[in-house]
Amino acid sequence: MRQVEIIYGPPGTGKTTALLNIVETALSRGVKPERIAYLAFTRKAANEAIERAMAKFNLDEDRFPYFRTLHSMAFKQLGIRRDEVMTDSHFKNLGKLLGVQFKGIYDEDLGLHLGDGLGDKCARVDSLARINIRPVEEQYAFTPMNDLTLHAVKQFSNALQHYKKERGLFDFTDMLENCQSALDVDICIFDEAQDLSSLQFSMAIKLSKLASEVYIAGDDDQAIFSWAGADVKKFLNLNGSKRVLPMS
């Protein structure tokens, strides 16, 4: 019977330790590390999990192929090469073709351009529409920017799709949208779930379809990325048994 547990772990409760204890229990009953997935929102959390797992269980990194961020998992599953991924230079080149500037940085954890150039803003609305699974017109209404028109956003969105198709490129949101296959694992752990977007929750459901145990951990009090697409309401309304970690 499939087990789904929602774990609430505020700061000071040792959430990562609790999640690694789940891994330890699974290993002790014979589950191979290759059949355990630990998927996090940020690279920091994913790196901490695998480093602590390697130290705790005295195993090499290649024994934990599914300890990754969701973006990294999508990249691996789709078999995309590095030279097929949209980079800052690609976006700036697209900006030149459209006459818009990219002035800021691209945050790989959030999957968003954070600058104040017109290109950054257009790309941000386009990405938010896709990760929130809503029409770009609706997302534009939720993202007021005085110097940004809906026409500019739609023109950018169409040009971006054409640019990628013409060059065989993927952006980070494409990876999440195209990651459809379930992982061949027994246990799926999702960390930092309060920061996941609607698109990432959809991806998580697909990835964990074959797992007999699913653990979804987070803390709604640390949900600070609603502006970046985090769907904390979805986290709070998940179906499954609930566990609140005590202060350590």
- The predicted pLDDT at position 153 comes to 97
The average pLDDT across 194-216 equals 96
228 C-beta neighbours (distance < 10 Å), count: 18
Taking residues 186-205, report their average pLDDT.
96
Helix axes 118-131, 198-207, angle to 10 degrees: 50
Q: What is the pTM of this model?
A: 0.91
The per-residue pLDDT for 220 is 83
Q: Would you kindly state where each structural domain of the chain is located, as residue ranges?
A: 46-186+212-230
Residues forming a β-bridge with 214: 4, 188
Looking at residue 22, its pLDDT comes to 96
pLDDT (tens digit per residue) in 60-74: 999 999 999 999 999
Condensed to tens digits (0 to 9), the pLDDT of residues 110-164 reads: 888 989 999 999 999 999 999 999 999 999 998 878 889 999 999 999 999 999 9
**pLDDT above 90 coverage of the chain, percent:** 83
- Other residues' Cβ atoms within 10 Å of the Cβ of residue 158: 12
